[in-house]
Amino acid sequence: MELSNIEKLIEKYENAETSLQEEQVLKAFFQQDAVPAHLLEYKTMFNYFEQSSTERYTKSIQLKPRKSNWKWLSIAATVALLVSIYTINSPGTISESERQEAQLAFQETQKAFQLISQNLNKGNTVAFAGLQEFGKAQNKVFKTNK
């Protein structure tokens, strides 16, 4: 094949535009002994591709069978669940004095929330009254009757 055609094929090859037949032509050209000096780098590249395509990995890979511990993991989870349910539902976990203290704290918290709610409601009515006065003044300034 002519050298100009080979150079065009190399350019197409570098742009990833060659077909498989054109690549076979390039491989056959670079397997020859008489390759121009300015194309010697391509000869080593194509010879490497040819050589590496015949290589095969021949060692066998030893895979260790993985033992599953799901059985023991599920047993442990079941035991943990049963222990937690038992400790939560057992009747003697909270003493009577602790229960009374918790009840008293709950009542005090309810009183505090009630006080906050009343103060917020007062603030809303005061703010709303102020808005009504502002609306009246605005209507007087702009002389609109609603």
**Amino acid residing at 18:** T
146 pLDDT higher than 60: no
The tens digit of pLDDT for each residue in 42-60 reads 888 888 877 787 888 888 8
pLDDT value at position 109?
86
Closest CA relative to residue 28, chosen from 53, 55, 6: 6
Q: Does residue 106 have a pLDDT over 60?
A: yes
Mean pLDDT taken over the chain: 80
Decide if pLDDT at 145 tops 60: no
Q: Encode the chain in three state secondary structure.
A: CCHHHHHHHHHHHHCCCCCHHHHHHHHHHHCCCCCCHHHHHHHHHHHHHHHHHHCCCCCCCCCCCCCCCHHHHHHHHHHHHHHHHHHHHCCCCCCHHHHHHHHHHHHHHHHHHHHHHHHHHHHHHHHHHHHHHHHHHHHHHHCCCC
pLDDT of 133 higher than 80: no
What is the arithmetic mean of pLDDT over 72-100? 79
% of the chain beyond a pLDDT of 90 = 1
Contact 22, 12 (CB under 8 A): yes
